[in-house]
Chains A and B, each alone.
Chain A
């Protein structure tokens, strides 16, 4: 029997520099398909690893200036909708000196 596509989990890929801040976290995370937006997905990460939202988002609230989130290859905001099975890629942008 095939899995119902509507139930496919959202896959979130996290950058190594972020995962180092949360020793229990892993680079690839599955989140139930019930999350509707990127913001919901980040909230789900924060429930799993308290404090992770603050590392990805500021209190505007928006994705931090030097963090990038891509959904299906497109740059996303907290409001970007997520289809079941979507792939969310969190990346550290070019920064520093």
Chain B
């Protein structure tokens, strides 16, 4: 039986936690945690109930913070979270993911680390940076960041990563070797005859469909896409959406054909919600058709954006959907997106949103 639901929020100035019961009607805010460091990604390890927060301080560098008591106390470590001497040092942790007993961290500049002791110490998986494409990786607006990490739920040797702006890569051997997985995704910022390269696309967010590990969705700088073969081929699903630009994507916890996106008005148009009116867009058929969800969301004079890791679902029935804005507001829906409530305002810029369901 569900005892409580937590929204884990990474912001530019620390991590926050919001807590509610299963009804998800009223929320209590706690924080800021992590000494107000910028926290790019805050996740839950459902197996242990641990909260993990990855980020980096301009003063003190990168670290993964950890709380075993739902945020009351925290420790931090960056032991082993380092490139060899002489290489550009790691600025920040950008993404975290649990896979079996392992924890993965994606960092800026892009690279992948694994911890087998719950985040106390880290090892570099150098295979990714040894990929032949590595000398040609270019940073996106937020840096050369590894921001999306998708472990295969049934095969711990398999993992997808998304790097801005290098694209999607897949390993089937625990990170030793990697393949590009970008076929069919556009790079509109390249000359006209080079818009479908093998790599170099600006992937913004990569998510996996529930129960279908080879069905992936991605929000790209240049379009929205679905793949049904683990990223070998991507199909555009942007028809019916108000723009091809956005950052976050969130998969439904049970239905592999339901996806949530939050398109913004365009990369050179301000990057806020189209027409100053906020909407989450939902598909129930894998991206064939879309419905805009606006009930409870501001429908005028609204100029926020939502960043790449700042939208999530929970695993309750009906599913909760959540997003945090660049202007520090947090919106929640307890009915799969049909209606929304603003559950926090005036937070620092929201960088990530994840959820945790705690059983009684």
Which residues from chain A sit less than 8 Å from chain B, CB to CB?
Answer: 17-18, 20-21, 50-51, 54-56, 58-61, 64-67, 92-93, 95-96
Bound-complex Cα distance A60 to B160 (A): 29
Are B58 and A21 in contact, with the CB atoms below 8 A?
A: no
Which residues from chain B sit less than 8 Å from chain A, CB to CB?
Answer: 35, 58-61, 63, 76-79, 81-87, 89-90
Are A95 and B58 in contact, with the CB atoms below 8 A?
A: yes
Are A51 and B35 in contact, with the CB atoms below 8 A?
A: no
Are B89 and A21 in contact, with the CB atoms below 8 A?
A: no
Does more than half of chain A's interface fall in helix, strand or loop, or is it mixed? loop
Are A60 and B60 in contact, with the CB atoms below 8 A?
A: no
Quick one: which of B58, B78, B89 contacts A60, CB cutoff 8 A? B89
Are B77 and A51 in contact, with the CB atoms below 8 A?
A: yes
Q: Which A residues lie within 8 Å of B77 (CB)?
A: 51
Are B78 and A54 in contact, with the CB atoms below 8 A?
A: yes
Bound-complex Cα distance A67 to B82 (A): 18
Q: Which A residues lie within 8 Å of B59 (CB)?
A: 17-18, 55, 64, 66-67, 92-93, 95
Bound-complex Cα distance A74 to B298 (A): 54
Are B61 and A64 in contact, with the CB atoms below 8 A?
A: yes
Are B60 and A55 in contact, with the CB atoms below 8 A?
A: yes
Given A21-B76, A51-B79: A58 and B89 within 8 A (CB)?
yes
Q: Which B residues lie within 8 Å of A17 (CB)?
A: 35, 59-60
Are B60 and A59 in contact, with the CB atoms below 8 A?
A: no
Are A96 and B58 in contact, with the CB atoms below 8 A?
A: yes
Q: Which B residues lie within 8 Å of A64 (CB)?
A: 59-61
Given A18-B60, A21-B60, A66-B59: A60 and B86 within 8 A (CB)?
yes
Q: Which A residues lie within 8 Å of B82 (CB)?
A: 54, 59
